[in-house]
Amino acid sequence: MSHILNFGIPKGSLENATVDLFKKAGWQISISSRSYFPGVDDAEMNCKLIRPQEMGRYVERATIDAGIAGRDWVRENEADVVEVCEMVYSKVSRRPARWVLVVNGDSAVKGPEDLRGATISTELVGFTKRYFAERNIPVNVEFSWGATEAKVVDGLCDAIVEVTETGSTIKANGLRIVCELMESVPVLLANRASWADPWKREKIEQIATLLKSSLAAEGMVGLKMNAPADKVELITRMLPSLKTPTVSHLYNSDWLSIESILSEKEVRQIVPELIKLGAQGIIEYPLNKII
């Protein structure tokens, strides 16, 4: 019997970023607007588009072996799954999602304990109920079908639990964050039985390694230069120590070739110094992956 890994791609806000990341990692996933079944150029994988809210449910039931979703929804559903690793999609442009407790700007509420007996509207009903129960604060939590901010602005409820990255929408509506309840990043989940199966575990780990090596290359570049032998030590000492630079002889010459991996920010700092030290033929080239 041939081996197949069923993998869940998160539908919605993480969808395009996930497809892009797989592309960098070496897999072409093609999503058609006419089908719910993305194609993938790997005979060992089947992909399915699944809402992040339902990902934990289907991984737990083994409908799929593994998938990517926000940790918030895994906790909301109390799904019994293996969390393989975090997927911090971008150091640069994306902050972690934060679920926060929010009230009107002019409310007197200072902390969760001031909401005793209040009505709280949220899409994250289960987590919110447990949060207040653990603190022995009786509240009435009700499910919101969206436009949650409007409900507290409009007096339809006393507080909301809502997700935000920067808080700017919340401020723009004249609301105030009381406190943060949970921070969430995307995670790679696996079914417990699939993780115990050697072939499936190796396949999941292969995917995790390649995805992470693509993330690691973000903002990183290769820098190459030539230098006279007597400057090599000075130059390599100045290069960031994380990765040892690769130094090799040049043909019929006492110059050497030096090559290193740096962040773009380090390059802009170090280039004026390298010029002063006598490096020549400095070039910068792009990277796909750092493993």
Which token pair is 198? 């050697």
Q: Could you identify the residue written with the tokens 């993938």?
A: 40
Q: What are phi and psi of 177, to 5 degrees?
A: -85, 125
Exactly one of 104, 209, 228, 231 binds a second copy (CB under 8 A); which one? Answer: 209
Q: Give the up-direction half-sphere exposure of residue 201: CA atoms within 13 A in the CB hemisphere.
A: 8
Site for a second copy in 236-275 (CB under 8 A): 243-244, 246-252, 256-257, 261, 264-265, 267-269, 271-272, 274-275
Binding of a second copy by 155 (CB under 8 A): yes
Q: What b-and-e string marks burial along 27-55, b requiring 16 or more CB atoms within 10 Å of the CB?
A: bebebeeeeeebebebeebbbbbbebbbb
Q: In 3-state terms, what secondary structure has residue 17?
A: helix
Site for a second copy in 29-68 (CB under 8 A): 30, 34, 36-37, 41-42, 48-49, 51, 53-54, 58, 63
C-beta of 272: minimal distance to a second copy in Å? 5
C-beta of 177: minimal distance to a second copy in Å? 16
Binding of a second copy by 221 (CB under 8 A): yes
Which token pair is 69? 């979703």
| Binding-site size, a second copy (CB under 8 A) | 75
C-beta of 258: minimal distance to a second copy in Å? 9
DSSP element (H, E) containing 199: helix 198-216
Site for a second copy in 12-31 (CB under 8 A): 25-28, 30
Site for a second copy in 95-124 (CB under 8 A): none
